């Protein structure tokens, strides 16, 4: 058992702790209990059979034909996407065909019309008889839709998946049924047409044309602004293969690419084998189980969803993801949506899905071009919404513009760096772009008579008042940006000439405007009317600059969150998921769960839908994905240099299993909670970073810390249930109390819950 040493302090106050100088001289712990001399996790989730059985319990099922997109199955590979539901007004089943790279190229008409996502088309499966029922399952394990369609003439047995840019479907008729597929192109016009007329001067895109090459049919859609979309498909026996390509500025390359994709496609069986191999490897990267079956199923569906919607190097997720439906938001929204979309990839250990980081890396020239010409030598930014290339100008502080959206997006990329400790990502993306984003602010900060630096009028995203000075949204981002630039410069060994300026801003930036109700929108502008965004609370979450471990901040945090939630009229789904995460940061798991369940309440004005998607006036993908991050925040938090295990578990969740949950510092955390008590925590270090672990063991229990060879770890008790543990790169440490526990990773028991879909 390790010995306790000097308590170094109980309040970490959100600051990253440096390596403790006493660590190397830690006293040798007492001799080990023989039972733990050689420890090893016993992972019962290593076989295909275990995973298949577990994920089958999380599958979506349909015993009724879905009539709307937010009721039906959905497929995707990060670019190509399809949703399945009844063809409106017809005795047919629609498979939408949409693609995250298909967009218009006329920036003069803005992101809503000129650079928006464009529809491609849809397939219909037209039976001979009248549809009387369906029996479908969306298998998460295989990322595949399977089942039957029953008609008054027979049955159609169906399976479908999307892999590597190909929609593959197999349909076999029985009885007196038949299989008839029809591809129906859709007009290449903004889905925003449901809510407004095209802008003045807008001309329609040309009509599509159709051509046949051998057994492959193609629909070719030229665009007025240049470029082309091409859809190629063929049917061979009972198998249909379809692919979509988009090219710009070339007006012919897409045709060649889509044709070659189908001509060179492997057999259905080979495609399916490659497809399932990818997904089976995907799920194994992490595991979580807790005793609320419906929420547990929801969480695993979100992992399936985000992997269907995003892959590193692919298009950044639009607000609808790759599944385009009529919507006022056919673009990428940068003032909350894109940030919430990607949070869950970090803890779930799926950085391979980070198309946000790769988009920003590839778009640095465009981000520079987005600021006014006078500032392009050293600044960058992005407007509220854009296309997949981040093409949208940003106004300047003082004009009432929304300025901080790029900085907030870079916080996501910083999190990807911190979870991977990939210095290339820090050096090539985070540091240069964050330097430019903060530089843009620095041009406008001015001292006032109080000696503080103030920001002229900027907009707190979408808050409907005249933009104030010293907007809390921007002040929080400026503080975080300067702090992060100083840290990044030190890590990279860069002697940046702006370091004195960043330190000055940290020291002299005006305090956050606060009134009797907590954080305000900005100077002289209280939070006085209901608003769905929590932008004025960014310093609390997700930036954690003001946090619950600062005793002097607790009252301010609590009343700010309560006041935000008290004004309810404009709240939407992510207002509830945001509140859940904020309360989880306070350690209040029961309250967090209460708010999260508001998102799932069918009586809510904007609830989660039958297939776990979400809609307001159109598809809005970020809200369900952010609900999974709220679950992460209940189970494992990592900020301020400390990994916190089970920090806000609801009292009703007596048993929880985490395995290979990724945290900042590039640690993989496994932990088991049984009977409301944390039994053990195992941490693997992928980068050799300093580990500060708030282990969550019962109060009064002396922790034991063993490395993976059974030798005692060097440990420093820094107070508040937090240990500083030396874990070399590539090594693991086990922390437990009392007798050596049973080190099993397995699903926990849960009450049966109603499946998602239409059961």
Which pLDDT score is estimated for 30? 44
Judge whether 521 lies within some domain: no
The pairs formed by 597-600 with CB atoms below 8 angstroms and a separation of 24 or more are: 599/573, 599/623, 599/627, 600/294, 600/295, 600/298
Judge whether 324 lies within some domain: no
For the CA atoms of the chain, what is the radius of gyration? Answer: 27
Within a 10 A sphere around the Cβ of 563, how many other Cβ atoms? 17
Judge whether 643 lies within some domain: no
pLDDT in tens, 167-191: 999 999 999 999 999 999 999 999 9
Judge whether 361 lies within some domain: no
Domain that holds residue 89: 77-283
Which pLDDT score is estimated for 35? 56
Low-confidence ranges of the chain (pLDDT < 50): 1-34
Judge whether 213 lies within some domain: yes
d(CA 622, CA 614): 9
Distances (CA, A) of 55 to 162, 236, 288, 625: 19, 32, 11, 18
pLDDT in tens, 131-155: 999 999 999 999 999 999 999 999 9
Judge whether 139 lies within some domain: yes
Instruction: For residue 602, report the phi and psi dihedrals to the nearest 5 degrees.
Output: -60, -20
Judge whether 87 lies within some domain: yes
Mean pLDDT score across all residues of the chain: 94
Number of structural domains in the chain: 1
Read off the CATH number of the domain in which 93 is found.
2.70.98.50
DSSP type of residue 112 = I
pTM to 2 decimal places: 0.94
Q: Is 244 helix (H, G, I), strand (E, B) or coil?
A: strand
d(CA 338, CA 332): 7
What torsion, rounded to 10 degrees, do the Cα atoms 60, 64, 70, 74 define?
50
pLDDT in tens, 250-296: 999 999 999 999 999 999 999 999 999 999 999 999 999 999 999 99
Which pLDDT score is estimated for 37? 77
Judge whether 132 lies within some domain: yes
Q: Where is 561: in which H helix or E strand?
A: helix 554-566
């Amino acid at each position: 058992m390790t010995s306790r040493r000097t308590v170094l302090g109980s309040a970490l106050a959100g600051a990253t702790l440096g390596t403790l100088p006493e660590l190397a001289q830690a006293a040798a712990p007492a001799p080990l209990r023989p039972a733990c001399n050689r420890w090893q996790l016993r992972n019962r989730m290593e076989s295909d059979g275990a995973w298949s059985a577990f994920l089958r319990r999380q599958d979506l099922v349909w015993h009724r034909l879905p009539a709307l997109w937010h009721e039906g199955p959905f497929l995707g590979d990060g670019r190509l996407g399809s949703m399945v539901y009844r063809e409106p007004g017809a005795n047919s089943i629609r498979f939408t065909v949409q693609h995250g790279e298909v967009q218009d190229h006329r920036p003069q008409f803005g992101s809503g019309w000129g650079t928006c996502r464009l529809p491609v088309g849809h397939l219909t499966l037209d039976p001979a008889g009248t549809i009387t029922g369906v029996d479908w399952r969306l298998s998460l394990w295989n990322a595949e839709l399977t089942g039957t369609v029953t008609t008054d003439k027979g049955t159609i047995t169906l399976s479908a998946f999307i892999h590597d840019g190909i929609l593959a479907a197999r349909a076999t008729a029985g009885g007196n049924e038949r299989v008839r597929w029809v591809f129906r192109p859709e007009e290449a016009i903004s889905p925003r047409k449901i809510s407004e007329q095209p802008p003045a001067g807008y001309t329609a895109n040309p009509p599509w044309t159709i051509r046949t090459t051998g057994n492959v049919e193609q629909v070719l859609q030229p665009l007025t602004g240049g470029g082309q979309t091409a859809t190629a498909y063929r049917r061979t026996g009972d198998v249909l293969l379809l692919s979509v390509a988009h090219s710009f500025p070339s007006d012919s390359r897409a045709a060649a690419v889509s044709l070659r994709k189908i001509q060179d496609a492997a057999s259905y069986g080979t495609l399916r084998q490659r497809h399932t191999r990818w997904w089976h490897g995907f799920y194994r990267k992490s595991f979580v189980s807790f005793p609320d079956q419906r929420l547990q199923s929801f969480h695993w569906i979100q992992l399936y969803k985000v992997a269907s919607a995003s892959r590193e190097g692919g298009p950044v997720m639009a607000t609808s993801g790759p599944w385009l439906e009529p919507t006022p938001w056919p673009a990428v929204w940068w003032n909350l949506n894109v940030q919430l979309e990607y949070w869950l990839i970090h803890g779930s250990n799926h950085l391979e899905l980070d198309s946000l980081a790769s988009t920003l890396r590839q778009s640095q020239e465009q981000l520079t071009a987005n600021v006014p010409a006078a500032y392009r030598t050293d600044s960058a930014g992005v407007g509220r919404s854009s296309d997949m290339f981040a093409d949208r100008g940003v106004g300047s502080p003082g004009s009432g513009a929304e300025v901080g959206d790029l900085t907030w997006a870079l916080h996501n990329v910083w999190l990807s760096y911190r979870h991977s400790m990939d210095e290339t990502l820090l050096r090539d993306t985070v540091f240069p772009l964050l330097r430019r984003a903060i530089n843009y602010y620095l041009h406008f900060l001015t001292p006032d008579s109080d000696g503080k630096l103030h920001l002229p009028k900027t907009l707190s995203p979408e808050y409907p008042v005249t933009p104030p000075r010293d907007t809390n949204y921007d002040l929080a981002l400026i503080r975080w940006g300067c702090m992060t630039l100083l840290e990044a410069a030190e890590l990279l060994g860069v002697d940046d000439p702006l370091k004195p300026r960043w330190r000055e801003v940290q020291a002299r930036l005006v305090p956050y405007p606060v009134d009797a109700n907590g954080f305000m929108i900005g100077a002289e502008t209280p939070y006085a009317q209901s608003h769905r965004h929590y932008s004025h609370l960014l310093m609390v979450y997700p930036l954690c600059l003001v946090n619950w471990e600062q005793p002097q901040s607790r009252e301010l945090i609590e009343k700010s969150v309560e006041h935000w939630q008290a004004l309810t009229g404009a709240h939407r789904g992510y207002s509830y998921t945001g509140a859940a995460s904020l309360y989880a940061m306070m350690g209040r798991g029961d309250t967090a769960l209460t708010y999260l369940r508001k998102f799932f309440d069918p009586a809510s004005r904007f609830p989660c839908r039958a297939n776990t998607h979400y809609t307001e006036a159109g598809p809005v993908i970020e809200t369900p994905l952010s609900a999974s991050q709220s679950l992460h925040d209940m189970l494992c938090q990592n900020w301020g240099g400390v990994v916190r295990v089970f920090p806000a578990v609801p009292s009703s969740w007596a048993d929880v299993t985490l395995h290979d949950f990724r945290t900042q510092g590039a640690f993989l955390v496994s932990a088991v909670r049984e009977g409301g008590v944390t039994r053990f925590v195992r941490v693997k270090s992928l980068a050799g970073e300093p580990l500060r672990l708030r282990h969550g063991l019962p109060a009064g229990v002396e922790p034991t810390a063993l490395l993976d060879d059974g030798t005692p770890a060097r440990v420093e008790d820094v107070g508040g249930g937090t240990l500083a543990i030396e874990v070399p790169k590539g090594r693991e440490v086990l922390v437990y109390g009392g007798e050596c526990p049973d080190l099993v990773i397995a699903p926990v028991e849960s009450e049966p819950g109603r499946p998602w879909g239409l059961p």
